[in-house]
Amino acid sequence: MHVRWRGLELPAKVVADERSLTRTFGRFTAEPFERGFGTTVGNSLRRILLSSLEGAAITKVRIPNVSHEFTQIPGVQEDVTDILLNVKDLVVSMDSDEPKTMRLIAEGPGEVTADLIQADPSITIHNSTKVLATLTTKTELAMEFTVSRGRGYVPAAEQIDPAEDQVIGDIPMDAIYSPVLRVRYRVEDTRVGQRTNYDKLIVDIWTNGTITPEMALVESAKILRKHLNPFVQYEAAGTTVVPAEIASQGASEAELVRKLNMPITELDLSVRASNCLESAQVRTVADLVRKTENDLLEVRAFGKTSLREVKYKLDELGLSLGMPMPEGVSPPSNA
């Protein structure tokens, strides 16, 4: 299926290969593109998928009485460097935007696995059978992990905050936040009518399981769209370009009021989140952004997953919880 816009052939939808689709792998096809656009779109999505999707990672490890990674802990088979490499292999996801702490206390002898870690409810360890260390004697191993959210790759040196006092035993970690492990795309010829000089784009995505390939593809496309939006608001050639914040101030205020007066149904929230907000008499976007995170979490059956969904939808609109209301916004629905 395809559409035509100003004489250009465009794909109408993206098709997933259901036979090979898993939690960690997906193959997606879109066609037809005009010649060359398959490569343009495929390469852009690949770069964004590998570098710009948000994820979680362990950014700091604390081991009592260990000042650096080149240390041997008595009664532990692995040295600290090997333990840190094992920790780096942990696949974690987190619902919170703030750094959280996980703790581990294990007694030997025996293997120390990730399922012994006591984690905050907002954190999920996806490979909990991962072996972190091996205790050879009846000794105790205690560790503390800091989990943060971010994008791309951040080296250990950038994890150190110079404004904070460094604690002996704190070891910063290289953080690979990206949930996408690998992306491959290829462009093949496809037919529209009698013409065969159109592109078919095929994208293969591998993830670490904290995000589905479908969601990764959608997120990358949204990021690309956000970066292209300013180019759509162009000025006529030959005229003086006024700074965007001045030229669009009036229009921006009107657009903000329009968004805030939207019914909550236009956010396309999940059934659970929609029902919870309806029970709390939240009927417009303005009603929603008047709330704080704590206000929403006090709503019956409204949990952190629903909160994360709401924040994500508001972020797409350039809005946030607890923001001030401009003039022209409808009063609260329960007023």
Q: What whole-number distance in Å separates Cα of residue 28 and Cα of residue 17?
A: 6
| Contacting residues for 116 by C-beta, under 8 A, at least 6 apart | 104, 105, 106
Which residue ranges does the chain devote to CATH 3.30.1360.10?
2-53+180-228
Helix, strand or coil, per DSSP, at residue 65:
coil
Read off the tokens for 39: 């490569």
CATH of domain 2-53+180-228: 3.30.1360.10
- Backbone φ, ψ for residue 276 (5° rounding): -65, -45
Q: Pick 55-176's CATH classification: 1.10.760.10, 2.170.120.12, 3.40.50.300, 2.30.42.10.
A: 2.170.120.12
pLDDT tens for each residue of 242-274: 444 444 455 567 778 888 888 888 888 887 888
pLDDT tens for each residue of 121-161: 889 999 999 999 999 999 999 999 999 999 999 998 887 76
Q: Which pLDDT belongs to residue 65?
A: 84
Pairing outcome for strands 153-154 and 175-176: antiparallel
Taking a C-beta distance cutoff of 8 angstroms, is the pair 133, 121 a contact? no
pLDDT tens for each residue of 59-113: 999 998 887 788 889 999 999 999 999 999 999 999 888 899 999 999 989 999 9
Which residue ranges does the chain devote to CATH 1.10.150.20?
251-316
Query: Domain 251-316, what architecture?
Result: Orthogonal Bundle (1.10)
Which residue ranges does the chain devote to CATH 2.170.120.12?
55-176
Q: What whole-number distance in Å separates Cα of residue 187 and Cα of residue 169?
A: 51
pLDDT tens for each residue of 198-245: 999 999 999 999 999 999 999 999 899 888 887 776 544 434 444 444
Q: Residue 293: what residue type?
A: E
pTM: 0.69
